[in-house]
Structure 1
Amino acid sequence: MDSTVPSGSTNDGPENLNLENLLLREDIFQSSLNSEEYLESLAPIIKDAIRANGLSSLIHKLNDIVKDKDEELNTLSLNSTRDINTCIDSIDNIHQDSSDLNKELSQISISLNKSVFELIGKKKTLIKCKEISSKIGEANMVLNMCLQVLEITNKIHELIKQHRYFSALKLIDELTSIHLPKVSSFSFAVKIYDSVPHLTRMIQDESFDNLGKWLAVNLERKLLAIGEGAFDNVYSLQEHWDQFKKEKTSATSAVYAPHKLNSPIELSIREPSLNYNVFEDQALQISLTTLYDAILVYQTLGEEELLSKLYYKEWLKKYNRIIYPITSSTTSAVTNTVSFSNMANLDEYLKKISGFFVMDKQINRATKYRLRTEANSNDLWDSYSIKLKPVLLNYLKVNQLDIDDLTSFKDLIGNFLQVMESNGYKVIDMYEVLMVIFKEYYAPELIAQFRIEFLESIQSDHYMPLVVQDEKDYENVMKICWYKPGSSFSPQNVRSMPISFPFSEDYVHYCLGVRSLLEDIIQFISRHYGYELNQLNNIIVNDIFEQVLGEEKGTGISYDLKEFIGRNSNNKEIVSQSYTNLEYYLYSLYEVGKLLNRRLRIHTGLGIHNIDSNGKFTLRAVESFTRVRKFAEDSIFEMVDSKIRELLDMVEYDTWMPEVANVEANYSIKDFALFLENLFTSIFASLPSTFRTLGLFRSYDFVAEHFLEILKNVPQYNRIAIANFDLDIRHLEESMSNLHATTPLTDEEGGGSVALQSTFTELRQCIDILKLDNYDDYIKNPTLRMRRFDRVRFEDGVKLISKMQLEEGDDSFNDDSIRSETASPARAGSPSQSILSTSAASKFAKFSSKFRKTDL
């Protein structure tokens, strides 16, 4: 088998490793080497060695391992012998030590026996000492109780000196119920017990006296500071609410705008921490300890009702001292003798009063109404407000307040009422003072100021159409003024600068004044006016706008306008421009009505007369301005009529039987027509085309009627006179047409053109009748009369024909009573002859000079 092992081979094959692992197992010696388990582990190794022809090598390896194990066993045996010898030596040492310890224990036992006898003696001594100590402790405890009673008694007196009455009262109760019974056998305890009722009474009295001093210090002396704190809180609340409304208000929504401070909406949104608390004001440093102490004292003693009565009397004393000087006036029937010298004094007084009533409510709330009830506070306020109201109204009456003063006075009263309302007092009766300020004082002042500025405006106006050179000025005018959409000066119709407006500066000032008036009113009522909104709107509309725009003398500007126009009725520029302005005034009033309804709905929550936000409201002032406009119209026509009468009075026909026909209208008629043209151009140039057409119609109708009457009143005339007269009338008709042509007409005004052309119809038909070659055609032909001469009555036509003086050969009539003669035509080139007298021509020359110099 040795020959099967190759030379140089190692013993480190897999079978060797497995064999080593097997022999190294810890439990290898716990089982027999010929056991079944061991053989099962060895079998695979032997099989592997046989397969690899390494059996001899395995045997050698096993022999080597056995030798190594024998050597390890021998080594372990030698080492164990040495350890055994060492242990034996240690056991000998321990035996010696135990003998020594036994001797020592014997000595200790002797000592313990001796100590036991000594301890028994000491214990007997200790028991005697404890008995003595117990008696000393009992005596000490009694002494301590006595000392504690005395200390508590001193503490009670000390607490009374420190004004800590409830603490003193609690100590008295502790003293009588706990400590005094323990030392009742001592005489000093009996004396202390007998003094308890006196101490209790002293505590009760001094606690209320201290409460009175507390009121004097923290109420009377700090009233002004409390009132100023309450007013400052109202200012901050107002600013906070205004800021909230500003943040919540958008271009399309103004839900919170109508609601004022202390309204239900504002109160529901307000944070409680924003409310003023007197006792949390660090600047005041008011402690409620004294108040609570007194309440607890009387509550402990069961005397709460007595405390309430005493406090009520004390509070009324403070009240009567604070409300002076009003109390001095209530005994007199003449309350208007009570007045404050200036607003600063009134301001200080109202702040003190507000501080008093604020303290009343806040003390009540802090004490859970144990001193005064809510009804007590409200009744006191109601009785006071009855006294204060006439004093405030009297202040308004005896002092001359301008608008700024009225605003300051309104803010003072409004803030005062806001403070009262914030603390739960009813202010609806006192609110009447605010309404009186607005209606009876502020409104008249606003009206007077507006009227003064308006009068200054109309008196300083140049009464010329407003012309702006700058685009910014144009934009400002368009923002301020009300105008009809689609006007010639509207932005969509403007192409370049300068821009000429139909109205004058007066209308711009008026629009700005009306807008400023409304803004002043809105600003004035923006705070404090939260009640009686219908009445407030009624004052704004009827007592301010209707009044200032109305026709009452000394108040309304429509009266001032009418009076101004009447005073300047001979000034054509003022009258005509005022008429134009009035057209825009009238339009603005409709816009002002809508603006009023819209702005009042935003700032008061109510429209005018329950009109909705899209409804229309028309001011009664529209009727007043309509009458003023009619007056201006009549003034213009009266001025024109007077001038035309003066002109027509100068037109005189001296002969109706001329022998020479004119080739053109007489120069006096030409001058008359020119004067008319100048008159209309100067007066009607800036007026609406409809009014211009109406003026032309009236004037030329009057002229046509005048010349028709001249023709009807002539006793006799010939054909030459009628031809000359026809030439003059044609010139007037042409002048009228020229004037009318300068005014562009709209489709709606087309009817005015037809009416204007008809002014000369009757006169024209009368002349045409007299110019007929054969009058029998007119007399005997009804169809011709109806077709050509429908405006002339048959009798008038026959009468006109009957006055015609015919020349020989004129066969115009075939009537037996009238002989017709044919008139020979005028020689060509013959000089023209006027049918007007020379005196009339002279008058025209003088009038022409007068017309050029006189301002119409």
Structure 2
Amino acid sequence: MPAMPALIEPRDDLTAAVQQIMLSSSDNDYIDQLIPVMKDARQTDRAAQLIQALNQVSSDREADIERICNTNSQDFISSVDQLQRVREGTLSLTSEVLRLAQAIQSSTEKLLEQKRALVESRSVRQSIDETSQALQDCLEVLKLANQVHDLLAQKNHYAALRALDELQNVHLRAVTRYKIAEMIEKSVPATQRLIAEAVMSDLNSWLFRIRETSQYVGEVAFYHTQMRRQRQKDRLEISEYAGNFKLNSAIELVADETEEFDVLNNDNEEVEIEVDFTPLFECMHIHNALGQSERFRAEYANTRRKQKDLLLPTHIDLTDEEDTDLTTLLESITGFAIIERSTMKKTESLRSAVDVDELWDSMCQSAINLISNALNTVNNDGKLLKIKSIIAMFIQTMDSWGYSITSLDALLLTLFGKYAELLKQRFSEDFSEIVSTDDYMPMPISNAEDYEKVVTVSWYSPDKRPEQIKFPTVFPFSQMYPLCCIDIRSLLNQIYLFSDDHFQNSDVIDDTLKNSLDELLCTKVCQSLVDRLSSQYPGQIVQILTNLGHFETACKELQELLVEARTSGAASGPVVLKATAEFETGKKTAEKRIFELVNSKIDDLVETAEYDWTAPSSSPNPQPSLYMQELTRYLSNIMSSVLLGLPTEIKELIYFDALSHAATSVLSLPLDPIVTKITPAAVQLLDVDVKHLSQFVDSLGNAILHENLDELRQTVELMGTENKEEFFDVGLRNRRYGRVDKVNGAVLLEKVTQGAEAVAVPESSPAKPSTQFSTFKDRLGIR
């Protein structure tokens, strides 16, 4: 039988499910196939469809059975029975399915309720978890925010800034949806300001410590310079070549580079110092991180300028024996400048060379003004030398750090000017006292030791070796000469002491020394000696002349010494002292004064001559006149005593001039207009005196001196000759009376003629006026 069409077209999925159930090989498979269908059967229409599908299957099965039965009834009956049983089972199963569907539906509703509750609980739990995480994140943010303040309180500014940066750029991003993020974000700038203020506070404390430490840094730097000086001296002792290079020269720096010494960080046994730049670096880094580098640079520069002003006092005292004010000032400036230079080298852009040099120039100018103003109170050259030594130490120290020292060199030039002036004033007083207190007597010496000392300090070359000299003895000069020589050498040494450490204007030293020596020797020695030539004591004049001669020699030696001692390598040529010419001129003045005194004495003695020009007769073997004996005795004594210490050439010159003057003075006696007549007896007396003088000159053994008496002797010989006509014969006159003046000869012949006539004429007879004088003049061609 053909199958009957189904009343309801079952859904494909249910049909497939029923077919699967029918094909199941076991109950378990049946249940497994039924469960999905039962889950969907919780809906009533769905269960009905399932039953309908089952009915459809059943109908199909029945149709198949009927068909099969029609073919095979027995089989059909069996099949019907089986089908009946199946149907019963199906009905039972259907009931069970319905019951199960209801149970499943009931369970499903409970399950849906539980699932709804679970979903709701999961949502609450998720909310709780999210809230917990949010709280955790917020707590983490708060913890980090508190940590920033804790680090700030611990003065760990850099760590605080890093924590704040991490908080702002990392942690706050995770909580941006919360209000706390906005609050913390708003507080970040304030916290940054707190960090900046805190680090600036620490930096100000560091700057204060640095300012307090500046003097000690300068003291350590001075110590280092002193050690370098000593090492340079040691090298000079080993090799003179090292003396060609000053401190801070390239050669000296290379030679000293093995001696490591960090002024700002060392643990030397004698000096220990450590300057930590960490607060500065931290402050720089923090301001750089905050984008405030320019502001920080400006504030730092302003702070350093203020500290520089606080470093400088309003005045200093240079008269203090310990030089405390000056040393403190220069050490403080040194430390300040060294820290500035080190800061510039250790940082890239904080301090520029212009800023550092500007502060240095300002400090230098202030120090120069303070020192210059205080110099007026210094009146001791030794004190000035100590001041110069401290300033030179300061200059050499700062030169090694690359600072300009031009203005300080100018200050040293000012110091040297005052130093030279004080030296000149002191030595001027010494020279004046030496000259005024000298006894102007040859300096006695009692032993070889003292003799050697005097020879050593004086420019004097004795004629004999010390072992040949018998003591006690005397020097030709007085004691003022070696004393002045000592002062001259002392002046040289003290002037050159100024250039020992550091002085660039060496040519100024050479010129100043030359000018000072010239002024002192010319005004205080030479002029003082010349002023004393007004004395009436020949011995004193002779000693002054001797001293002037030795001073002239000393000046010549001194000129050579000044050439050798030149500190300026650029200078060349000889050194000429004006004092040399002054002493030479003074010698001539002294010689003239001796001539004056000797000639004055001769004039005094000649004035005591008592010739009786009208004497009628002379006594047999007359003796020389008393004045002539005194004159020759004076000339003999003065040469053997007063003039003994003079050089031979000067003595001969004085003797020559004295004898010439004596001859002229004696000759002037008969030529006096008062004398009108000279008798032969008077001529004989004059001849005796002239012969005595001539014999005295002959005893001196110098033919040149004898020539001074030629005119006097020939004139006296003419006065006593019987043959006066020889004088009028040119040939005879030149041979016998060549030195006699024609006028004087004519005058004296007239006086002698009149004297002879007066003796021949009785006293009662009146004298006739003589005309011989005019005749003699006419015969000689004299008008």
Q: Normalising by the residue count of structure 2, what TM-score does the alignment of the two structures yield?
A: 0.72
Note if 1:689 corresponds to 2:622. Answer: no
1:635 to 593, 605, 608: 593
1:679 to 638, 659, 662: 638
Tell me by how many angstroms 1:341 deviates. Answer: 8.1
Does the 8 A contact of 2:606 with 2:627 survive in 1?
A: no
Tell me by how many angstroms 1:728 deviates. Answer: 0.4
Does the 8 A contact of 1:230 with 1:276 survive in 2?
A: no
2:682 to 721, 729, 735: 721
The aligned amino acid for 1:211 is L
d(CA) in 2 for partners of 1:229 and 1:808? 110
1:309 to 298, 301, 315: 298
d(CA) in 2 for partners of 1:771 and 1:354? 99
Residues 641 and 804 from structure 1, CA distance in 2 versus in 1: closer, same or farther, beyond 3 angstroms?
A: closer
Tell me by how many angstroms 1:324 deviates. Answer: 4.1
Deviates more, 1:580-589 or 1:569-578: 569-578
Residues 564 and 722 from structure 1, CA distance in 2 versus in 1: closer, same or farther, beyond 3 angstroms?
A: closer
Does the 8 A contact of 1:489 with 1:501 survive in 2?
A: no
Tell me by how many angstroms 1:155 deviates. Answer: 4.6
Q: Report the 3-state secondary structure (helix = DSSP H, G, I; strand = E; otherwise coil) of the residue aligned with 1:525.
A: coil
Note if 1:623 corresponds to 2:615. Answer: no
Partner of 1:785 in structure 2? 733
Partner of 1:351 in structure 2? 331
Partner of 1:549 in structure 2? 521
d(CA) in 2 for partners of 1:269 and 1:597? 31
Deviates more, 1:695-704 or 1:461-470: 461-470
Tell me by how many angstroms 1:560 deviates. Answer: 2.5
Tell me by how many angstroms 1:596 deviates. Answer: 1.6
d(CA) in 1 for partners of 2:564 and 2:588? 30
1:231-250 → structure 2 map (5 Å cutoff) = 231-249=222-240
Does the 8 A contact of 2:442 with 2:475 survive in 1?
A: yes
1:372 to 343, 351, 355: 351
Over aligned residue pairs, what C-alpha RMSD do you find?
Answer: 3.6
Residues 371 and 638 from structure 1, CA distance in 2 versus in 1: closer, same or farther, beyond 3 angstroms?
A: same
d(CA) in 2 for partners of 1:242 and 1:784? 86
Partner of 1:277 in structure 2? 263
d(CA) in 1 for partners of 2:587 and 2:154? 86
d(CA) in 1 for partners of 2:487 and 2:556? 16
Does the 8 A contact of 2:423 with 2:491 survive in 1?
A: yes
C-alpha distance after superposition, 1:442-465 (max 9, x if no partner): 223222322333333334444333
1:496-511 → structure 2 map (5 Å cutoff) = 500-511=474-485
Does the 8 A contact of 1:149 with 1:180 survive in 2?
A: yes
1:447 to 416, 424, 436: 424
d(CA) in 2 for partners of 1:148 and 1:433? 67
d(CA) in 2 for partners of 1:450 and 1:457? 10
d(CA) in 1 for partners of 2:412 and 2:688? 76
Deviates more, 1:185-194 or 1:532-541: 185-194
Tell me by how many angstroms 1:183 deviates. Answer: 7.5
1:474 to 451, 469, 483: 451
Partner of 1:395 in structure 2? 374
Residues 655 and 372 from structure 1, CA distance in 2 versus in 1: closer, same or farther, beyond 3 angstroms?
A: same
Tell me by how many angstroms 1:177 deviates. Answer: 5.2
Residues 462 and 490 from structure 1, CA distance in 2 versus in 1: closer, same or farther, beyond 3 angstroms?
A: farther
Partner of 1:540 in structure 2? 513
Partner of 1:298 in structure 2? 287
Partner of 2:569 in structure 1? 606
Does the 8 A contact of 1:166 with 1:293 survive in 2?
A: yes
Tell me by how many angstroms 1:192 deviates. Answer: 5.6
Tell me by how many angstroms 1:650 deviates. Answer: 1.0
Does the 8 A contact of 1:590 with 1:617 survive in 2?
A: no
1:119-518 → structure 2 map (5 Å cutoff) = 153=145, 155-174=147-166, 195-219=187-211, 221-249=212-240, 256=243, 260-263=246-249, 266-267=252-253, 269-271=255-257, 273=259, 277-280=263-266, 283-325=272-314, 342=320, 343-368=323-348, 370-397=349-376, 399-439=377-417, 441-483=418-460, 487-489=462-464, 494=468, 500-518=474-492
C-alpha distance after superposition, 1:315-353 (max 9, x if no partner): 222223222427xxxxxxxxxxx8778553343334333
Tell me by how many angstroms 1:626 deviates. Answer: 2.2
Does the 8 A contact of 1:589 with 1:619 survive in 2?
A: yes
d(CA) in 1 for partners of 2:654 and 2:238? 57
Does the 8 A contact of 2:312 with 2:366 survive in 1?
A: no
d(CA) in 2 for partners of 1:536 and 1:274? 36
Task: Name which structure has the greater RCO, CA cutoff 8 Å, separation 6+.
Answer: 1
Partner of 2:716 in structure 1? 767
Residues 621 and 365 from structure 1, CA distance in 2 versus in 1: closer, same or farther, beyond 3 angstroms?
A: same
C-alpha distance after superposition, 1:418-472 (max 9, x if no partner): 3433333323223333222221x32232223223333333344443333444333
1:562-581 → structure 2 map (5 Å cutoff) = 562-566=530-534, 569-581=535-547
Partner of 1:666 in structure 2? 625
Residues 241 and 155 from structure 1, CA distance in 2 versus in 1: closer, same or farther, beyond 3 angstroms?
A: farther
Residues 788 and 474 from structure 1, CA distance in 2 versus in 1: closer, same or farther, beyond 3 angstroms?
A: same
Tell me by how many angstroms 1:687 deviates. Answer: 0.8
C-alpha distance after superposition, 1:724-745 (max 9, x if no partner): 211101211222343x44xxxx
Identity of counterpart residues, as a percentage?
A: 26
Tell me by how many angstroms 1:144 deviates. Answer: 10
Q: Report the 3-state secondary structure (helix = DSSP H, G, I; strand = E; otherwise coil) of the residue aligned with 1:642.
A: helix
Residues 696 and 726 from structure 1, CA distance in 2 versus in 1: closer, same or farther, beyond 3 angstroms?
A: same
The aligned amino acid for 2:715 is C
Tell me by how many angstroms 1:673 deviates. Answer: 1.9
1:736-815 → structure 2 map (5 Å cutoff) = 736-738=697-699, 740-741=700-701, 753=702, 755-780=704-729, 782-805=730-753, 806=756
Residues 792 and 643 from structure 1, CA distance in 2 versus in 1: closer, same or farther, beyond 3 angstroms?
A: closer
Residues 723 and 451 from structure 1, CA distance in 2 versus in 1: closer, same or farther, beyond 3 angstroms?
A: same
Q: Report the 3-state secondary structure (helix = DSSP H, G, I; strand = E; otherwise coil) of the residue aligned with 1:425.
A: coil
Residues 212 and 773 from structure 1, CA distance in 2 versus in 1: closer, same or farther, beyond 3 angstroms?
A: same
The aligned amino acid for 1:278 is L
Partner of 2:103 in structure 1? none
The aligned amino acid for 1:382 is D
Does the 8 A contact of 1:339 with 1:394 survive in 2?
A: no
Partner of 1:76 in structure 2? none
The aligned amino acid for 1:471 is A
Tell me by how many angstroms 1:756 deviates. Answer: 2.3
Tell me by how many angstroms 1:705 deviates. Answer: 0.7
Larger Rg: 2
The aligned amino acid for 2:684 is A
Q: Normalising by the residue count of structure 1, what TM-score does the alignment of the two structures yield?
A: 0.66
d(CA) in 2 for partners of 1:818 and 1:216? 118
Q: Report the 3-state secondary structure (helix = DSSP H, G, I; strand = E; otherwise coil) of the residue aligned with 2:565.
A: helix
d(CA) in 1 for partners of 2:692 and 2:214? 93
d(CA) in 1 for partners of 2:716 and 2:562? 60
C-alpha distance after superposition, 1:193-227 (max 9, x if no partner): 665444334323322232122101222x2233233
The aligned amino acid for 1:593 is Q
Residues 195 and 550 from structure 1, CA distance in 2 versus in 1: closer, same or farther, beyond 3 angstroms?
A: same
Note if 1:646 corresponds to 2:646. Answer: no
C-alpha distance after superposition, 1:105-157 (max 9, x if no partner): xxxxxxxxxxxxxxxxxxxxxxxxxxxxxxxxxx9999999987676555543
Does the 8 A contact of 1:463 with 1:577 survive in 2?
A: yes
The aligned amino acid for 1:474 is Y
C-alpha distance after superposition, 1:522-554 (max 9, x if no partner): 22331231x222223222222x21221222xxx
